Amino acid sequence: MTALVELSDVHVVHKARTGGLFTRDRVYALTGAGLVVAPGETVGVVGESGCGKSTLAKVLVGVQRPTSGTVSVRGRDLWSMPPAERRTAVGAGTGMIFQDPSTALNRRLTVRRILRDPLDVHGRGSAAAREERVRELMGLVGLPRALADALPGQLSGGQRQRVAVARALALEPALVVADEPTSALDVSVRAQILNLLLDLKERLGLALVFVSHDIQTVRRMSDRVITMYLGRIVEECPAGRVTDHARHPYTRALFSATPGLLDPVDPIPLTGPVPSATRPPSGCPFRTRCWRTDQECVSVMPEFSAASDPAHRYRCHHPVEEDRPTRDLVRQSQHPREP
């Protein structure tokens, strides 16, 4: 696969927010992440709260510097570039859309200024060309020209998110990362924003990384789905196979809990809390909540294994059989093994 952005053994470790100023506790937000995003593809990222989805997204667009590991943009190591070059590589190569457009946009700037800002910072073209680009961007995302002088507070939630999408596109990125782009919006406008993203992706040939708690939407929007658990990528699966053929028990559990997908199946129960990212369990991070756990899972972190589809890989010692129906797993998961 030709890489637009490639992560190799990326770790992000933070000082824990809890435990006081002098704490030695560390949060393992991302552990050993390897991922290739190809031009024009949509990669969906799923996992429970705190599993590292936003951290992965920020690393991909160069907003978060990894503690270790490499991020390559079109084959060049992003963090060994001189800062000016890095800004161009990241700014001109990527864009990011955040969850809540009311906080992501500067409330004191007009739509025109918000969209001109990245063009001004990167010195793109003459003043007239920048004005023309602002008009073009507003047209691309379906914003009426009359709104150019409006402030974010004068716009609806959907319009604000359109401004955020336009801003992410300002420097003609090859990759856009959308981190929960619709969760702060009214249900009635969510579909419009998702359709806009899909439409822009087609028209502009963008690669899209789509992070969401809404598992069904991720499946519908994506070519490939990445499952994360406690800072690790635990499965990468073509979106069309993820519901019925995912091999990782966690992916099956997440997708079984999605209403309307598996008709009619009770969700696989995920017992107990997600362990702390400060003290992850030994061996497989999912083993404390998995019904297939044995002694090997307690002591050995599984490496990636390949499924029959070359685009599908997973980290599990006791993967679900590829064609095993999820309905079967629901029964099995109610009688877990004792490690």
Binding site for ligand ATP (CB under 6 A): 14, 17, 27, 29, 47, 49-55, 277
Question: Which residue's CB is nearer to ligand ATP, number 285 or number 319?
Answer: 285
The token pair that represents 295 in the structure block: 């002694």
Residue 17 CB, nearest distance to ligand ATP (Å)? 5
Residue 159 CB, nearest distance to ligand ATP (Å)? 24
Residue 286 CB, nearest distance to ligand ATP (Å)? 15
Residues 179, 165 contacting (CB under 8 angstroms): no
- Give CA–CA dist 106/128, Å, rounded: 23
Residues 278, 26 contacting (CB under 8 angstroms): yes
Residue 47 CB, nearest distance to ligand ATP (Å)? 6
Residues 38, 206 contacting (CB under 8 angstroms): no
* 236-239: Cβ within 8 A, 24+ apart: 236/35, 236/311, 236/312, 236/313, 236/314, 237/307, 237/311, 237/312, 237/314, 238/309, 238/311, 238/312, 239/44
Question: Which residue's CB is nearer to ligand ATP, number 258 or number 332?
Answer: 258
Question: Which residue's CB is nearer to ligand ATP, number 51 or number 320?
Answer: 51
Residue 272 CB, nearest distance to ligand ATP (Å)? 17
Residue (of 289, 295, 336, 287) closest to 316 by Cα position: 287
Task: List, in sequence order, the alpha helices (H) in 13-75.
Answer: 53-60
Residue 72 CB, nearest distance to ligand ATP (Å)? 21
Question: Which residue's CB is nearer to ligand ATP, number 65 or number 327?
Answer: 65
- CA quadruple 307, 60, 276, 18: dihedral, nearest 10: 180
Question: Which residue's CB is nearer to ligand ATP, number 41 or number 180?
Answer: 180
Rounded to a whole number, what is the largest CA-CA distance in the chain? Answer: 69
Question: Which residue's CB is nearer to ligand ATP, number 52 or number 62?
Answer: 52
